[in-house]
């Protein structure tokens, strides 16, 4: 998942974090094995910070990139996870 500002630039932030994905080895899974990612202007807390993409206070966009996608992505049967606004 990559985060861009309304002007389609990476959002400058103290963590120097602009995307979350398989390259991030510090992501923390939930007790049931699922993964929750956070995107927003406010830090969700130290215990969730490894899964957080800092965002501007205004509008921003999230993108999922799939390189060498598997069949579900290629044939459209895979659906991205839902985004919950809180």
What DSSP string runs through 25-45? TT----TTS----EEESS---
Report pLDDT for 33: 95
CATH of 1-86, one of 3.40.50.300, 2.40.37.10, 2.60.120.600, 3.50.50.60: 2.60.120.600
How is the chain split into domains, by residue range?
Answer: 1-86
What six digits make up the tokens of 19?
């995307």
pLDDT in tens, the chain (86 residues): 999 999 999 999 999 999 999 889 999 999 999 999 999 999 999 999 999 999 999 999 999 888 887 899 999 999 888 888 87
User: Which candidate, 64, 63, 39, 62, places its Cα nearest to that of 51?
Assistant: 39
- Per-residue pLDDT at 67: 82
pLDDT at 84: 87
pLDDT for the residue 11 = 97
The SS3 of residue 71 is helix
């Amino acid at each position: 998942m990559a985060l861009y500002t309304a002007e389609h630039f990476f959002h400058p932030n103290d963590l120097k974090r602009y995307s979350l994905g398989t390259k991030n080895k510090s992501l923390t899974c939930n007790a049931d094995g699922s993964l929750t990612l956070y995107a927003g202007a406010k830090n969700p807390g130290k215990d969730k910070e490894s899964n957080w993409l800092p965002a501007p206070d205004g509008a921003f966009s999230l993108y999922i990139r799939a390189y060498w996608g598997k069949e579900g992505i290629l044939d459209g049967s895979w659906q991205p996870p839902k985004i919950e606004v809180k």
